[in-house]
Amino acid sequence: MATCLPSHRWSQAQPFPPLPLHPQCLNLAFLLADVWLSFLPSIYLVFLIILFEGLLGGAAYVNTFYNIAQETTDKHREFAMAAACISDTLGISLSGILALPLHDFLCHLS
């Protein structure tokens, strides 16, 4: 059975996930630590970290579509790109829904 999406080559060939994931996880840990400990002296540093996070997210997004364009056949490429767009939209929507109770929880910590 032919698949429309690229195979999980990175999990088979490489022992680690794609590179943009690691700095994003470090940003998450750093900002959560700042929520609990309040060690950043200025909100502008948080803005710079958020800008960096946006650049990493954009790089991951572009990398996904580049891999789809390179690894899928012409017959399946349109479906693969549509599936990636829908999954991205669902991920953003779910994170927005989860952000509401998480915001209240984090506000009670500080």
pLDDT digits (tens, 9 = 90+) for 63-87: 888 888 888 999 999 999 999 999 9
pLDDT computed for residue 24 by the predictor: 85
Containing domain of residue 64, as a range?
A: 44-109
Is 59 within a domain? yes
Is pLDDT at 7 greater than 50 in this prediction?
A: no
- Dihedral over alpha carbons 94, 78, 65, 32 (to 10 degrees): 0
Which element (helix H / strand E) includes 98? helix 74-109
Domains of the chain: total? 1
Is 98 within a domain? yes
pLDDT computed for residue 3 by the predictor: 43
Q: Over the stretch 37-66, which tens digit does the pLDDT of each residue have?
A: 889 999 999 999 999 989 988 888 888 888
The mean pLDDT value for 95-103 works out to: 93
The pLDDT mean for the chain works out to 82
Task: Please tell me what DSSP assigns to residue 19.
Answer: T
pLDDT computed for residue 57 by the predictor: 86
Is 70 within a domain? yes
Q: Over the stretch 18-37, which tens digit does the pLDDT of each residue have?
A: 666 788 889 989 988 988 88
Is 10 within a domain? no
Q: How many CB atoms lie within 10 A of CB 64?
A: 19
